Amino acid sequence: MRLTLTRGDITREHVDALVNAANTRLRGGGGVDGAIHRAGGPAVLADCVRRFPHGLPTGRAGWTTAGELPARWVIHVVGPDYTAGQRDPDLLASCYLEALAVADELGARTVAFPAVSAGVYGWPLHDAARIAVKTVAETPTQVHEARFVLLGAETYDAFAHARAGS
């Protein structure tokens, strides 16, 4: 598998599946979650409500249509909220493991990932990058390209550093 990094807006990525850093309710929110719901249009929310009426627990993943996004699917992962005391690194790694498992079930070959939990959920950036890159790089998958789509130079640099060390 090819692991790539890019700076940009995940909602503009032409891939088979976009990974959404969602909250447990899967009803949209701020950050990546809000951007994906806005860009994907009402079909994304409607599919979330239909497929996940009670949401998803932390560390889990599920998929929906991508609506108007330039992807086929959205894989929603619920990252741990570090600021609320969810500090188990296995929960964060589980987001990436589960996203790749869902991608394999769907037959997705290109997947775009955000920096799960490294924004409003407050996971320390360099640790979040290390966990993300290590987990994705070491997980057996049928995905051909895992693309980390990162906003800002600091986030990109943290992921580049993590990739260089993996």
- Among candidate residues 9, 16, 33, 88, the one labeled active-site is 33
pLDDT single digits (tens) 93-128: 999 999 999 999 999 999 999 999 999 999 999 999
Pairing mode, strands 73-78 and 61-65:
antiparallel
Q: Which ranges of the chain would DSSP assign to H, the alpha helix?
A: 31-40, 42-51, 89-106, 125-138, 153-165
Asked if residue 46 lies in contact with residue 74, where contact means CB atoms within 8 angstroms, the answer is no
Contacts of 53 (CB under 8 A, 6+ apart): none
Q: Which residue has the tokens 């889990």?
A: 60
Residue numbers of the domain that contains 20? 2-165
Structure tokens of 83? 């600021």
CATH number at residue 146: 3.40.220.10
Q: How many domains does the structure of the chain reveal?
A: 1
pLDDT at 166: 67
Q: 33 an active-site residue?
A: yes
Asked if residue 4 lies in contact with residue 156, where contact means CB atoms within 8 angstroms, the answer is no
Write out the chain's pLDDT in tens, 166 residues: 999 999 999 999 999 999 999 999 999 989 999 999 999 999 999 999 999 999 999 999 999 999 999 999 999 999 999 999 999 999 999 999 999 999 999 999 999 999 999 999 999 999 999 999 999 999 999 999 999 999 999 999 999 999 998 6
Q: How far apart are CA 59 and CA 98, in angstroms?
A: 8
**pTM exceeds 0.95:** yes
